[in-house]
Amino acid sequence: MLSKLLLTCYTAECQMFRMVNKHYDVKGLNLFFRTLTHAGGATFTIITCLIILFLSTDQLRITGIGCAISLSVSHIPVMIIKKLYPRTRPYLTLERAKHQKNPLKDHSFPSGHTTAIFSLIIPIILSYPVTTIFLLPLACLVGISRVYLGLHYPSDVLAGSLLGTSIGFLANSFIISYPTIFSV
């Protein structure tokens, strides 16, 4: 019974993957998603944290501290989960999955890019709710880009978004709980 349910879920996930990944050959989308996916990468997220930390004052700097804590901490469970649950990337397992040359070779679950972007934006959104209009769609599109590029299953992205969001909330709660430590 459980194996049938798991098979049904996996089949549905593969269908969702194919619905997104099948558009890989559309030049405009390809350029858009290949560029946007880097917003969840280490270079972009770390530089963004450093800019907020060192080029801001007062509340924004405290928010930057929350972003830095969240981003740093979020990578620990990603690495642990990838080791404990080594899931092969979809372009290696699914026939006709489209992907770029020289794709990633490590495990796919959870999506590190999606985790990173969500862990970065959540402290900002919690401090400046008006940014939700821009930052939440950005983070969701980074997640979609990972499926579009053939590098992740939808559940990898969902797990990354939940992980990044949870750690973002925890980091923000930590900053709020100890304001004297982080006062500027």
pLDDT digits (tens, 9 = 90+) for 79-114: 999 999 999 899 888 888 888 876 777 889 999 999
Which residues of the chain fall short of a pLDDT of 50? none
Task: Return d(Cα 34, Cα 107) in angstroms, integer.
Answer: 20
- The pLDDT assigned to 97 comes to 85
- The pLDDT assigned to 95 comes to 85
- The pLDDT assigned to 120 comes to 97
- The pLDDT assigned to 100 comes to 80
- The pLDDT assigned to 59 comes to 85
- The pLDDT assigned to 182 comes to 65
Q: pTM (2 decimals)? A: 0.92
3-state secondary structure the chain: CHHHHHHHHHHHHHHHHHHHHCCCCCHHHHHHHHHHHHHHCHHHHHHHHHHHHHCCCHHHHHHHHHHHHHHHHHHHHHHHHHHHCCCCCHHHHCCCCCCCCCCCCCCCCCCHHHHHHHHHHHHHHHHCHHHHHHHHHHHHHHHHHHHHCCCCCHHHHHHHHHHHHHHHHHHHHHHHHCHHHHCC
